[in-house]
Amino acid sequence: MKIEILEESDLKVKFILREAPIALANSFRRAMKSLVPTMAVDYVDFYMNTSFLYDEIIAHRIGLIPIKTDLERFNLPEKCSCGGEGCPNCQVSFRLNVEGPKVVYSGDLISDDPEIRPVYDNIPIIELYEGQQLMIEAVARLGTGKEHAKFQPVTVCFYKIIPEIVVKDNCDKCGKCVEVCVRNVLKKENDKIEVGNVLACSMCMECVKNCEENAIEVLETNDYLFTVEGTGALPVKTVMRKALEILRDKAKEMNEIIQTLI
């Protein structure tokens, strides 16, 4: 198993996973999506809400705001020494006390912990008009994507197989496969059919269907092109590393269970 990073920016990473069984590629994707913990607001106390929106809508909107997470410092509530009751090692609370007329942004949330704060400061939460007041306390905790999509550290996370396109010797160079290729993977150069950018191939098999000589083949390989986009709560590379760690721990646990059975 090898990882080759193609593109990397703050929120988006594209990489190739080589020589891995498809089950592993899929479990890697699922681990990134649903097993890596991140922080999100999960509980909101409303002391005063005279705005136009219901308490539930505001709570939901606050829950969706990504929060910068420090995995070293915080525990999952069920694994915390407090037993899930809530302590500084598994919770951070945010306060908000505003009066209209004003647009309330995510940056207006005052955190107990100066390091744990919303990733973006300019997400509008609610618009308050003259005489309206909002007084709340929001409690953020760690959670996994399994529980609720707001805890997912990644938004878009998918892979596709990088195929191997083989043009056999009985090719009559009619060029039909080049014409039907919607993603312009195939090229006709020097009276020969050549493969251009394989990464763009979606394995639609149009070239195979349209070849009268049956001279082209699209084969599955053990290489995958991953595209991962993060929410900003955790750097994408940390998410990848953490997902692999979690997978390793799970495999170890499984191994131990099997050991006891034999």
Residue from 16, 24, 76, 123 that binds other proteins (CB under 8 A)? Answer: 123
75 vs 106, which CB is nearer to other proteins? 106
Residue from 106, 159, 218, 234 that binds other proteins (CB under 8 A)? Answer: 106
In the region spanning residues 229 to 248, those forming contacts with other proteins, defined by CB under 8 A, are 229, 231-232
Shortest CB 72 distance to other proteins, Å: 24
Binding of residue 153 to other proteins (CB under 8 A): no
- CA separation for the pair 100, 134 (Å, rounded): 9
- Phi (first) and psi of residue 111, to 5 degrees: -90, 150
Shortest CB 150 distance to other proteins, Å: 8
Residue from 4, 124, 202, 241 that binds other proteins (CB under 8 A)? Answer: 124
71-79 contacts at long range (C-beta below 8 A, 24 or more positions apart): 71/37, 71/142, 71/234, 71/238, 71/242, 74/39, 74/142, 75/142, 76/37, 76/142, 76/143, 76/144, 77/141, 77/142
163 vs 230, which CB is nearer to other proteins? 230
59 vs 186, which CB is nearer to other proteins? 59
Count residues near other proteins (CB under 8 A).
Answer: 26
Binding of residue 26 to other proteins (CB under 8 A): no
Binding segment toward other proteins, per CB under 8 A, in 59-67, 74-82, 86-94, 172-180: 59-67
Please choose, from the candidates 222, 240, 233, the residue with its C-alpha nearest in 3D space to the C-alpha of residue 33. Answer: 240
How many Cα atoms sit within 13 Å of 190 on the Cβ side? 2
200-206 contacts at long range (C-beta below 8 A, 24 or more positions apart): 201/162, 201/163, 201/165, 202/160, 203/160, 203/161, 203/163, 206/177, 206/180, 206/181, 206/182
- 132-151 footprint of other proteins as x/- string (CB under 8 A): -----------------x--
Quick one: tokens of 75? Answer: 């525990």
Residue from 14, 30, 61, 237 that binds other proteins (CB under 8 A)? Answer: 61
Q: Are 180 and 174 in contact (CB under 8 A)?
A: no
Binding site for other proteins (CB under 8 A): 50, 52-53, 61, 64-66, 106, 119-127, 129-130, 149, 152, 155-156, 229, 231-232
